[in-house]
Chain A
């Protein structure tokens, strides 16, 4: 019949007879004729596998492959070949949520490892099994803070937040009746004094900052957690996962909740997804945390085993009283991150960070040498930075695109550029040469 449909004419006859109907059509006698679909779908004819391949290859060639110096939350890090290979193991790929622990130890086991690694990376006590992406994880953290607070609905958000994340926060806040107060930008950073003043007005459930912030600046959050805790607000940090290999961790800054995107841990950019959001928190908040959590236990043979736990928080049991409506995790991408971190280890991660740091600072120095660019803020940055341009920044951006280079993201008076370990010296020098024209 068709390669995905194994029913032969004989099968159909026997099966319909068993059911007691004369045709496939008769299986749907409950559907009123007035709403039955009797037409043809306005869609192409069935394509052979070869033709499917040809369609994709033709469309693929209509995309322009650019040398990527863009970031703003999505970074072009290298994917070790082990990962896509293992992710195609169909026992991982074609399984569902590990409800049946006895035949899902593979999934449960790697989620436990993922949680352990993310807790290490962020310096927090615990992690959930992962979330959709960094922006929605941040929104979930915002809702978690409001739910954990007592009759408070205001959240302070740094003005240096990635505007794409901020838009998602605004959406969730509108429907949850959460009031967002945006903190002023002080020389490219968030000011402790502004936080303290806003907190002193009362009614604040949480304070959300970003590390590195939207300008790529590594901020100093000394005193932030204490200020929050004095006013019973939660301190929430949204960080780029890969950078935490070397940067002072959310745990060290005293954060209550650490969120962010794991895409920087080698996940391909693939036009926006799938990525993986992470959420970690202090032990105290474990029962307020949304999402799946895997815990250790024993089986009836006395063996160590892993299982979905603390499910009383979740929607399939709590329905409208659940901590969130999230009912899955981003499991396969959590596996991606787990394998990446297993391969890289702490040394590899640090090397990636150092390479990216060096390459970004080299690019920055070379751009400044041309005399056409200035660094917008005199603050420490990691592998992303914002430079102002003394000419027409749109024309510059387009000139780079024409040369096959994505010269960062257009931001205000210039470009926001990011560099990873994938960029060679030749690629960087080429960008500088074209930008200097």
Chain B
């Protein structure tokens, strides 16, 4: 990684007169675009030869960290290995060249893959139908909530506009509910980190006829299985609401327990988490939504075609590779890895809720708070040692949340090395706290000034140049 030599923007490598493309000759005669419909000035795009472009982006990639680079224990994100065969299959020209509006008789192979994926997801979740239109997890949440809202509307049950969301829920849950035009009722967590049944009963009694749904992820964001789930589902169903499963934490349930059997009616799946499709620096993902029999008529039209088909193809390759038997090992092995790290570190990091976790768990910072070393500092110090940081400051239940999810793909040696480094950092916090607080030291750039970025936003090259002129 080298920011000093390769920190240029592509615009700064541009030189008029260079080009990085070649196009066919125009054989169609003299058709000129009339000036009356044209823009006055050209877009200021870079002029670069091909090698300059290739080298620039190759060097940018060297300033990045991916799952292929090293251990990526980012809680809640399920950063599992993205198999190479998936990539190659998704790139097959027989699929890449299909226009989405081609007639059905010409896309039988593509349709067969969609059907295979639907049948597989139904088998794994215990639900009956899936729509593949949602492009991402949050888009899936919105689609699922719209499905539920459409269902209530179809019965003329117009009062059901409130959604119960645990206080430990992913931030997207309340945001998706709001975009769906629904109001949020927050239910508290109890001392064990689980949905507080007393608080839930109070909400159901007070708001029963207004409740559209309850959104949950199980295991929850603390990595704990919500043991009372059958009782919770009964409470919600009895008052006329539906149960929504946020599939963000589905991975540890593969081979163990199906959302349909837990009592959920609607769910989304993040194919980019549980089904090994790459996160791509933040997308594209895919968030198919599954429902119980009878609810499929209420799927909304949230995108025009077949969803992120390229992502779905990768998930198909993963499912085919594992088959019904190996996929059963995914959940237990992910859970094994998480518990192993937890047990190996809980004497130096604060474990607020002891006991078995599923695929992930949350520490509330270092056990010894006297050093002043925060979760942020630990995260940044991990970067120095060649690890991606865990998810930090989420969930909001604790002040110093440090959320670790190793996935099933990591070896005992990788985990042991990570554990050793985490222990070393805990030691450094006592012996040399400044070294930890000023970390990272070995990365292409140091800690960034977030306040400066937000106070005076410079978000384009044009603005950056204007700024340089001013200075």
Contacts and interface: CB of A to CB of B under 8 A. Distances in A.
A249 B100 CA distance: 28
B108 to A, nearest CB: 4
A260 B191 CA distance: 48
A358 B26 contact: yes
Contacts of A342: 10, 20, 45-46, 48, 53, 56-57
A115 B460 CA distance: 6
A338 B98 CA distance: 23
Nearest to B178: A320
A327 B386 CA distance: 26
B372 interface: no
A7 B336 contact: yes
A239 to B, nearest CB: 11
Contacts of B184: 319-320
Given A133-B303, A244-B39, A61 B94 contact: yes
A259 B355 CA distance: 49
A325 B302 contact: no
A269 B97 contact: yes
Contact of B329 (A5, A164, A249, A270): A5
Nearest to B83: A4
A113 B10 contact: yes
Contacts of A30: 224-225, 227, 355-356
A390 interface: no
A6 B339 contact: no
Contacts of B139: 132, 136, 326
Given A295-B457, A325-B176, A273 B309 contact: yes
Q: How large is the interface on B (under 10, 10 to 19, 20 to 34, 35 or more residues)?
A: 35 or more
B109 A62 contact: yes
A60 B109 CA distance: 6
Interface string B90-122: 011111111111110111111011000001100
A432 to B, nearest CB: 13
Interface string A22-34: 0011011111101
Contacts of B64: 91-92, 95, 103-107
Interface stretch (A65-73, A179-187, A191-199, A225-233): A65-73
Contact of A18 (B335, B344, B450): B344
B459 interface: yes
A198 B64 CA distance: 51
A100 interface: yes
Given A107-B64, A126-B460, A299 B323 contact: no
Contact of A246 (B33, B179, B281, B336): B33
A61 B112 CA distance: 12
Nearest to A416: B101
Interface in A100-128: 100-107, 109-110, 112-113, 115-117, 119-121, 123, 125-127
A27 B48 contact: no
Contact of A68 (B85, B97, B340, B409): B97
Interface stretch (B196-204, B363-371, B428-436, B441-449): B441-449
B418 interface: no
A328 B460 contact: no
B283 A65 contact: no
A394 B304 CA distance: 22
A201 interface: no
Contact of A93 (B50, B82, B109, B124): B82
A96 B89 contact: no
Contacts of B452: 297-298
Contacts of B57: 86, 89, 110, 335, 339, 342
Nearest to A25: B332
A43 B327 contact: yes
Contacts of A425: 27-28
A368 interface: no
Contact of A96 (B28, B56, B77): B77
Interface in B134-155: 135-139, 141-142, 146, 149
A252 B447 CA distance: 39
Interface string B52-88: 0110111011111111110010100101011101011
Given A24-B335, A27-B356, 4 more contacts: A93-B281, A269-B98, A274-B308, A361-B28
4 shortest interchain CB distances as A-B pairs: A272-B305, A60-B94, A332-B280, A46-B323
19 contacts: A5-B329, A6-B410, A7-B411, A42-B123, A46-B325, A60-B92, A90-B67, A93-B66, A112-B9, A172-B179, A268-B96, A271-B98, A272-B305, A274-B284, A296-B459, A309-B454, A325-B138, A380-B36, A406-B106
